């Protein structure tokens, strides 16, 4: 997402010439807070650099030539296939990259140089073609009656290769499609299948929280998300609200899950029932933050009683007949809410 930095408004931005833009420069989502801190004892700067390409694609490269690079510089790098070169934008440098790859094994490609004006112009000309190429590619796939969805197209920096990202439920035989693509676009074609979460990351968008999608900005590893994540956090199982733009459960359901699991450890078993003089009561709901549990009689499920966790533990440990919930709740007033009657027992 391109935005103006503070120096752009002061006409002091040094990245305008590098990016060949008249008004704006690239402002990234990650703050390199170690970039302006000088390392002690003449320690050499870390040689691995994180480069960002189109949308969510980011890769690590080796700065073997010790080129001075800053966040936002456009560089020419080596490709995985060894065909031609690719162009990306410096996303992260220095010690933060060292922290990013500490648990990864990566075969690093090289950074050749800072991109020249000619290379940048070629790169931008192919980026403009991507939208038109995507429209034509979808039309060709439809004519061949292939059950696949071409989500995005990314040209290599020199235009010698184009990667077609697609999603499909079943295995697709696209040998005829590749031949038509090669004849029509006159470049090396690579078909790459992605999942629905990766598709949302490449297309991008705004989430229900009002911010840009996590998978587009910073999220790299997609962990499995189940409805148990919502149940532990006492969220209503509403599929429309719990699913993201990828039609899968939102990744953010896992962000606070560990905190809820630690808090629930202090709660008694929710399946255990309380035996009173007025009948049997079962757990209906829990309040993790206030450390309280809602109970109701099996015969009167519309009346709920809120009791502290400490008191529930005492009742279950004694394993004896306790005073009825109605007598315990005479101190407090009844709270009316829709069809349910709530009673607070602050003991």
pLDDT digits over 24-60, tens only? 454 456 666 666 666 665 556 678 899 999 888 889 9
Q: In what order do the strands lie in the sheet with 188-193?
A: 149-155, 161-167, 188-193
Count each helix (H run) and each strand (E run) in the chain, helices first.
12, 14
Euclidean distance between CA atoms 234 and 56, whole angstroms: 32
DSSP string, 183-203: HHH-SEEEEEE--HHHHHHHH
Which run of H or of E encompasses 141? helix 117-143
pLDDT value of position 327:
55
CA 303 to chain centre: 41
pLDDT digits over 258-292, tens only? 888 888 888 888 888 887 777 888 888 888 888 88
pLDDT digits over 128-167, tens only? 999 999 999 999 999 999 999 999 999 999 999 999 999 9
Asked if 335 and 343 count as a contact pair (C-beta separation under 8 A), the reply is yes
Residue 19 has pLDDT above 50, yes or no: no
Helix segments in 24-116, DSSP class H? 95-100
Euclidean distance between CA atoms 205 and 295, whole angstroms: 42
**Which of 258, 321, 266 is closest to 292 using CA atoms?**
266
Q: Where are the domains of the chain?
A: 6-115, 122-197, 274-345
Choice between 104 and 192, residue whose per-residue pLDDT is larger: 192
Q: 85-88, long-range: CB within 8 Å, 24+ apart, which pairs? A: 85/112, 85/119, 85/156, 85/157, 85/158, 86/53, 86/156, 86/157, 86/158, 87/115, 87/119, 87/120, 87/123, 87/157, 87/158, 88/51, 88/52, 88/53, 88/59, 88/157
pTM: 0.72
pLDDT digits over 65-92, tens only? 888 888 889 999 999 888 889 999 998 8
pLDDT value of position 336:
38
Q: How many CA atoms lie within 13 A of 11 on its CB side?
A: 0
What's the fold here for domain 122-197? GMP Synthetase; Chain A, domain 3 (3.30.300)
pLDDT value of position 17:
44
DSSP character at residue 45: P
């Amino acid at each position: 997402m391109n935005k103006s930095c503070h120096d752009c408004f002061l006409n002091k931005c040094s990245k305008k010439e590098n990016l060949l833009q008249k008004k704006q420069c690239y402002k990234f989502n990650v703050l390199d807070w170690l970039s302006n801190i000088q390392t002690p004892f003449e320690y050499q700067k870390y040689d691995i650099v994180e480069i960002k390409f189109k949308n969510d694609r980011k890769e690590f490269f080796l700065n073997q030539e010790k080129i001075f690079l800053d966040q936002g510089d456009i560089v020419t790098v080596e490709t995985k296939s060894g065909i031609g070169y690719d162009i990306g934008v410096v996303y992260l440098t220095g010690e933060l990259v060292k922290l990013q790859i500490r648990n990864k094994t990566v075969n690093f490609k090289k950074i050749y140089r800072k991109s020249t004006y000619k290379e940048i112009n070629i790169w931008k000309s192919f980026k403009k073609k991507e939208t038109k190429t995507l429209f034509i590619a979808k039309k060709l796939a439809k004519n061949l009656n292939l059950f696949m969805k071409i989500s995005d197209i990314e040209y290599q920096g020199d235009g010698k290769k184009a990667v077609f990202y697609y999603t499909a439920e079943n295995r697709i035989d696209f040998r005829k499609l590749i031949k038509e693509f090669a004849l029509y676009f006159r470049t090396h074609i690579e078909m790459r299948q992605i999942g629905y979460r990766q598709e949302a990351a490449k297309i991008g968008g705004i989430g229900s929280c009002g911010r840009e999608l996590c998978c587009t900005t910073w999220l790299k590893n997609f962990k499995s998300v189940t409805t148990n994540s919502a149940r532990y956090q006492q969220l209503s199982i509403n599929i429309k609200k719990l699913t993201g733009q990828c039609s899968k459960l939102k990744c953010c359901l896992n962000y606070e899950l560990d905190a809820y699991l630690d808090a629930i450890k202090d709660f008694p078993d929710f399946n255990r029932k309380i035996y009173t003089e007025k009948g049997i009561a079962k757990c209906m709901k829990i309040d993790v933050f206030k450390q309280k549990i809602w109970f109701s009689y099996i015969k009167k499920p519309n009346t709920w009683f809120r009791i502290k966790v400490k008191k529930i533990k005492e009742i279950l440990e004694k394993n004896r007949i306790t005073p009825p919930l109605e007598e315990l709740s005479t101190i407090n007033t009844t709270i009316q809410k829709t069809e349910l009657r709530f009673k607070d027992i602050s003991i």
